[in-house]
């Protein structure tokens, strides 16, 4: 009798052992693993074994094969059977979690099946803190991916209150910080401030696993830094950024503690240490870009991209591709400013390739991709293409700051073309820095004053131009916006030169040149050197005039060679792409197709 009772357990353990052996072989032998698990059903096992085996089969098929229909069938059976078995929470809720994930991955996706499934699992998991919190996070993430941030915030609020009730301040902080992130995305700044204050108190007071505590501090500080950068407050953010960099150094010295938390609701990690390091590099790059420290931005981008390449060899997490795309977007803008257009174009092509591999990534970054192409088009003087790219980007974005950035650059295109007055004035009404500016960004508002100054300069209204540019200088100096400062100084210098005030012009152009060299900004250096050449000639400084002429010649040659190299690349054809997914193939150019006159 005893042998009959033990028999099912022994055969089950044997099949399970073989299945695990095949799954963990190198390379994995998934077909044999599946055969072993399917063999369990031949023995007509009890319900618990049956449900668990369906879950294991569904998981193996989902993670290691493309047979999503069969994976779905097994997971649905696991979910159905496990609901009939008391005290079988791990199988029940893991089946629900994995099945809803599979529903969202299918083509066409079955999000409308995933939501009620998760809601039911959340409803019946209230006595199981770990699973209740995990399922709430999962449903909130699903709503976030659907851009339903209100529902996602509501769920995160429910999770925070539940975590407080079950005595998990750590997971409460995770829920609240996640909600803060969504409120920042929605630009609900009035709600963000009190929430971040509460989070700061919870994080500082919580005593637990050192790595978990530091990871909470990183999450909190990343939100604070992002909040400042969104507002264009580049100088004000420095103390927070310094704290964040110190925090990640602390985490890198800590060893992972194998002791599990006593509260099951605390069994969460925000991000792995290595991912947090990349994220801190990323926000440092964002700060360096806004401040105009482009060499520093390039250094941190190189570090982050090297780290990402290593991580992607071992980890297929989608967040790594997102980090990679955002880093490339920033380094592309760097390259365009520093006079490396050919490299920028190849990196734009790299972003296209990454987006081709992930439809979701493309949906989230299509507007940024067209914006980068618009900036590239300006740099090679293809103004019609620039307009088409910015128009495509405007059509695709709902992000207010990106919209304002695109409109500002499109306005600069219309100013350069000189014959688009109606469209230009229509745009300028929407980004009026003196009245109802559409976003809270200090940096973008300063840029809007600069654009007004540029237009007034081209129209010969020099006093008005000076007023706008002095406003830009005041704002850019207040927050260390070095590129805007350099551009404003050189334009003011040009105005004073035209007005015949050579001494005042020199007082503007010399610091503009010094700042542009520090950034380095090739276009401002080219402009400044041309002005210095004419100024010194007018002032009778022959040697200085000759030196400035030589500098201008050098900058012109560098930009000309880079222009020819960029326009000769097959990727240059991307400037014609304005709709649909990014093209996969590019035909080689016969040679530059754009005017070089603007560079000389």
Q: Is 232 left (phi over 0), alpha (psi -120 to 50) or beta?
A: left
Per domain, the residue ranges of the chain are: 11-107, 126-231
Place of tokens 């063999």: 39
Angle at 377 between CA 375 and CA 380, to 5 degrees: 115
Q: 126-231 in CATH: which number? A: 1.25.40
Provide the terminal-to-terminal Cα distance of the chain, rounded to the nearest Å.
97
Residues 9, 11, 13, 14: what is their CA dihedral angle, to the nearest 10 degrees?
Answer: 160
Residue 323: is it exposed, middle or buried by C-beta count within 10 angstroms (0-12/13-18/19+)? buried
pLDDT score recorded for residue 410 = 97
Long-range contacts of 45-48, Cβ-Cβ distance < 8 Å, separation of 24 or more:
45/8, 45/12, 46/8, 47/81, 47/84, 47/85, 48/85, 48/88, 48/91
pLDDT score recorded for residue 476 = 94
Cis peptide leading into residue 412 (ω within 30°) = no
The two tokens of residue 84 are 């009939």
Q: What is the 3-state secondary structure (H, E, C) of 9-55?
A: HHHHHHHHHHHHHHHCCCCCCHHHHHHHHHHHHHHCCCHHHHHHHHH
Query: For 256, phi and psi rounded to 5 degrees?
Result: -60, 125
Q: Which DSSP helix (H) or strand (E) runs through 546?
A: helix 542-568
Among 334, 345, 330, smallest CA distance to 283 is for: 330
pLDDT score recorded for residue 383 = 95
Q: What is the 3-state secondary structure (H, E, C) of 80-95?
A: HHHCCCCCCHHHHHHH
Q: What is the mean pLDDT of each run of 10 residues along the chain (600 residues)?
A: 47 81 84 88 87 93 90 94 91 95 82 93 95 96 91 96 94 95 86 91 90 91 90 89 92 72 81 90 92 91 92 86 94 95 96 90 94 97 96 94 95 92 92 89 94 96 97 94 96 96 95 95 95 92 94 95 96 95 64 41
The two tokens of residue 576 are 């014609």
Which ranges of 398-461 does DSSP label H, i.e. alpha helix?
Answer: 400-417, 421-430, 442-458
pLDDT score recorded for residue 470 = 97
Separation between Cα atoms, residue 202 and residue 174, nearest integer Å: 10
Which residues, in sequence order, are CB contacts of 26 under 8 Å at separation 6+?
none
Q: Which DSSP helix (H) or strand (E) runs through 325?
A: helix 318-338
pLDDT score recorded for residue 600 = 36
Q: What is the pTM of this model?
A: 0.86
Q: Report in angstroms the alpha-carbon separations of 494 from 86, 456, 458, 484, 507.
A: 80, 13, 11, 15, 11
The 3-state DSSP class for residue 485 equals helix
pLDDT score recorded for residue 256 = 67
Angle at which helices 30-39 and 2-23 cross, to 10°: 160
Length of the chain: 600
pLDDT score recorded for residue 591 = 44
**CATH class held by domain 11-107:** mainly alpha
């Amino acid at each position: 009798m005893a042998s009959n009772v033990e028999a099912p357990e022994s055969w089950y353990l044997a099949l399970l052992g073989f299945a695990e052996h095949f799954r963990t072989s190198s390379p994995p032998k998934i077909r044999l693993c599946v055969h072993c698990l399917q063999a369990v059903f031949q023995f007509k096992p009890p319900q618990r074994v049956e449900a668990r085996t369906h879950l294991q089969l569904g998981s193996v098929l989902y993670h290691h094969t493309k047979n999503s229909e069969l994976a779905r069938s097994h997971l649905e059976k696991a979910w159905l059977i496990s609901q009939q078995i008391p005290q079988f929470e791990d199988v029940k809720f893991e089946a629900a979690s994995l099945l809803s994930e599979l529903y969202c991955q299918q083509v066409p996706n079955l999000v409308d099946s995933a939501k009620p499934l998760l809601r039911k699992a959340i409803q019946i998991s209230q006595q199981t803190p770990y699973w209740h919190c995990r399922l709430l996070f999962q449903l909130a993430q699903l709503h976030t991916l659907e851009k339903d941030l209100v529902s996602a915030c509501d769920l995160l609020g429910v999770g925070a209150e539940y975590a407080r009730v079950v005595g998990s301040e750590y997971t409460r902080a995770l829920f609240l910080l996640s909600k803060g992130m969504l409120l920042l995305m929605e630009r609900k700044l009035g709600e963000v401030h009190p929430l971040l204050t509460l989070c700061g108190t919870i994080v500082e007071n919580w005593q637990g696993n050192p790595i978990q505590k530091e990871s909470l501090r990183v999450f909190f500080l990343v939100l604070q830094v992002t909040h400042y950068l969104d507002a264009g407050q580049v100088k004000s953010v420095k103390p927070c950024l310094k704290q964040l960099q110190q925090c990640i150094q602390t985490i890198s010295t800590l060893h992972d503690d194998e002791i599990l938390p006593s509260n099951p609701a605390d069994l969460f990690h925000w991000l792995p240490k290595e991912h947090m390091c990349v994220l801190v590099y990323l926000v440092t790059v964002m700060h360096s870009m806004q401040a105009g420290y482009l060499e520093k931005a390039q250094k941190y981008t190189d570090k982050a991209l090297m780290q990402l390449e290593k991580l992607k060899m071992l980890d297929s997490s989608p967040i790594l591709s997102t980090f990679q795309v955002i880093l490339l977007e920033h380094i592309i803008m760097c390259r365009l400013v520093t006079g490396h257009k050919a490299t920028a174009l190849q990196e734009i092509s790299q972003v296209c390739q990454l987006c081709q591999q992930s439809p979701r990534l493309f949906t989230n970054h299509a507007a940024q991709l067209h914006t980068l192409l618009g900036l590239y088009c300006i740099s090679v003087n293809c103004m019609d293409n620039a307009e088409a790219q910015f128009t495509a980007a405007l059509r695709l974005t709902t992000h207010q700051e990106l919209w304002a950035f695109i409109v500002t650059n499109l306005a600069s295109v219309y100013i350069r073309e000189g014959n688009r007055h109606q469209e230009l004035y229509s745009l300028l009404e929407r980004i009026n820095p003196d009245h109802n500016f559409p976003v809270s960004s200090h940096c973008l508002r300063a840029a809007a004053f600069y654009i007004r100054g540029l237009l007034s300069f081209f129209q010969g209204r020099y006093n008005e131009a000076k007023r706008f540019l002095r406003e830009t200088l005041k704002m850019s100096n207040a927050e260390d916006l070095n590129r805007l400062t350099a551009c404003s100084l050189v334009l003011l210098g040009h105005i004073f030169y035209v007005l015949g005030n050579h001494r005042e012009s020199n007082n503007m152009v010399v610091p503009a040149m010094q700042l542009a060299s520090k950034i380095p900004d090739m276009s401002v250096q080219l402009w400044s050197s041309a002005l210095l050449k004419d100024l010194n000639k007018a002032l009778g400084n022959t040697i200085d005039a000759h030196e400035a002429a030589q500098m201008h010649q050098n900058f012109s040659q560098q930009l000309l060679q880079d222009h020819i190299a960029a326009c000769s690349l097959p990727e240059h054809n991307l400037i014609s792409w304005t709709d649909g997914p990014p093209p996969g193939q590019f035909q080689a150019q016969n040679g530059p197709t754009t005017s070089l006159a603007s560079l000389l």
